[in-house]
Amino acid sequence: MKTVSGGVTAAKGFTAGGIHCGVKAGSKAEKKDLAMILSERECAAAAAYTLNRVKAAPLYVTMEHLEDGVARGIIANSGNANACAPASHENAQRMCAAAAAATGLAPEDFVVASTGVIGQTLNVSAIEAGVPALAAALKKEGGSDDAAHAIMTTDTARKEYAVSLDIGGKTVTIGAIAKGSGMIHPNMGTMLCFITTDCAITHDLLQEALHAIVPRTFNRVTVDGDTSTNDMCVVLANGMAENPLIEWKDDGYTLFAQALHEVCGYMARRIAADGEGASRLVTCTVTDARSEEVAERLAKAVVGSSLVKAAMFGADANWGRVLCAMGYSKAPFRPEYVDVKFSSELGEILVCKDGAGVDFDEARAKAILSRDDVTIQVDLHEGESTVSCWGCDLTYDYVKINGDYRT
C-alpha cells in the first residue's frame, strides 16, 4: 500500500468539482460551497450515518436512493445543514434533481449531503442555479481539491487522502475527502466523508467493510461531545480497476478492508486535529486492556474530558484528570494497576505508576505536551487489547467560534 495524490479523483473513472453559488447570504465569492463527485460508471454504494435521533433531510433522501445499493455521484453543500428546516426533504430532493438534470442521470443516482447551520431554510434556488456550472467544472486534476474546499465550514484545512494497492494483479485506488471540525463526538460528529474507489467489490461486502471500520475510526473521534444531525460517510466503488470481483471474504477482501481502514483512520485523525479552535491533536492509547470494548470506553472518556482537554491546551501534565475520566467511564479496570505516560515527538515521560504519582521533570513534561501532536498512554496491565481514540485540546477559540456561529 502506498500514498498517492488525487483524493477522490485518484481512482479511475471519477471526477469532482467545487464552486461558489451563494448558499449562505453574505458569503464571500471565493468560498466554495457546492461540491460534486461523479463516476463514469454505476457504483456499488455503501453508507454510514449519524446515530443522532434527529437526522437532517439529506440523510433520509440518501437512504432512499441507496436502497438498491448503487449510485453514480454525490452532491453536497456547505453553509446550511438543511436540517430541522422548512421544506428540507423537498430541498434535498431538488438538489438531486438539479444534479441529475446537469449530468443526464436520474435523481436517484445521487447521494446528497449538507453541512452548516441547523434550522434555517436552505437557499436551494442558489444551488439549482449553480449546478450547471458545477457539472461543467468537474475534472480529474484538481477536482478533488475544489470539492474538499467546498464542503468546509469551520475547518481550517482541507482533508484529502488516497492510497493504492495491488489486488489480484491490478492496481486498486481508494481516495477520500472529508470535513469536520466541531460538533464532533463518537457515533459520527458533524463530519462528512466521501470515499471513492475503482475496486470491483459487491455492495454487500462494501457495506460490511465500511460498517466494521467506521466504529474503529470515525466513531473513536471526539472534539466537543456533540453528535451532529448531518454526519455521513459514503463509499462509491465503480470496479474500473478490473481486479477480480471481491464477492467473498478472501485475501482480496482483507487487503481492501485494510486499505479502507487506513483511509478512514487517516481522515479521522485529521478531523480530530482540526477541531474548532484546536492547537493540538490529542491521542489516548489504552493498552493491555481486558477487551477492546473496555479499552475504547476508557480512551473515549479521556479524550472527551473537558478537564483533560483544557490541561492539554495548557501543556499541563495533570495526570489525575486522566484517571478521573477513566473512573467515570463505567468501564471495568483496576486503578492500582494503571500506568500513565505523556509522549510526543520529543519523547515520553512517566507520570503515574500503579495508580499513583511518581516524581517527574515538570519542565520536560510541559515541553513534550507543547507539541502539535501529543499522546496519552495508558497501560492497564490486565489483558491484550489496545485501542486509540482521538481528540484535541480545548481552547479559548472554541468558545469564540461557537458563541456566535449562527449569527
Cell representation of residue 296: 475504547
- Mean pLDDT of the 294-311 span: 95
Q: Give yes or no: 254 in active site.
A: no
For residue 407, pLDDT beyond 80:
no
For the chain, helix, strand, coil in percent to 5 are 35, 30, 35
For residue 405, pLDDT beyond 70:
no
pLDDT of res. 172: 98
Q: How confident is the model at residue 227 (pLDDT cuts 50, 70, 90)?
A: low
pLDDT of res. 214: 93
For cell 503515574, name the residue: 352
Tens digits of residue pLDDT in 348-402:
999 999 999 999 999 999 999 999 999 999 999 999 999 999 998 887 777 776 6
What whole-number percentage of the chain has pLDDT above 70?
93
Tens digits of residue pLDDT in 125-184:
999 999 999 999 999 999 999 999 999 987 878 899 999 999 999 999 999 999 976 544
Max mean pLDDT range (18-32, 45-59, 172-186, 255-269): 255-269
Tens digits of residue pLDDT in 320-345:
999 999 999 999 999 999 999 999 99
Question: How far, in Å, CA of 281 to CA of 22, rounded?
Answer: 32
Chain-centroid distance, C-alpha 330: 26
pLDDT of res. 276: 64
Largest CA distance in the chain: 69
Q: How many helices (H) and strands (E) does the chain have?
A: 11, 15
Question: How far, in Å, CA of 364 to CA of 368, rounded?
Answer: 6
Cell representation of residue 112: 446528497
pLDDT of res. 273: 80
Task: Indicate which residue of 9, 50, 190, 285 is catalytic.
Answer: 190
Residue 279 burial (CB count, 10 A): 16
Tens digits of residue pLDDT in 248-288:
999 999 999 999 999 999 999 888 887 666 688 999 999 99
Please say whether the beta carbons of 23 and 122 come within 8 A. yes
Q: Of the given ranges (124-133, 177-186, 211-220, 288-297), which has the lowest mean pLDDT?
A: 177-186
For residue 98, pLDDT beyond 80:
yes
Which one, of 275, 307, 286, 302, lies nearest residue 397 by Cα?
275
- Mean pLDDT of the 24-28 span: 81
Question: How far, in Å, CA of 198 to CA of 181, rounded?
Answer: 29
For residue 189, pLDDT beyond 50:
no
Q: How confident is the model at residue 78 (pLDDT cuts 50, 70, 90)?
A: very high
Q: How confident is the model at residue 228 (pLDDT cuts 50, 70, 90)?
A: low
For residue 73, pLDDT beyond 80:
yes
pLDDT of res. 225: 55
pTM of the model: 0.88
pLDDT of res. 198: 98
- Mean pLDDT of the 99-117 span: 96
pLDDT of res. 190: 58
Residue 236's DSSP bridge partners are: 45, 196
pLDDT of res. 184: 47
pLDDT of res. 356: 97
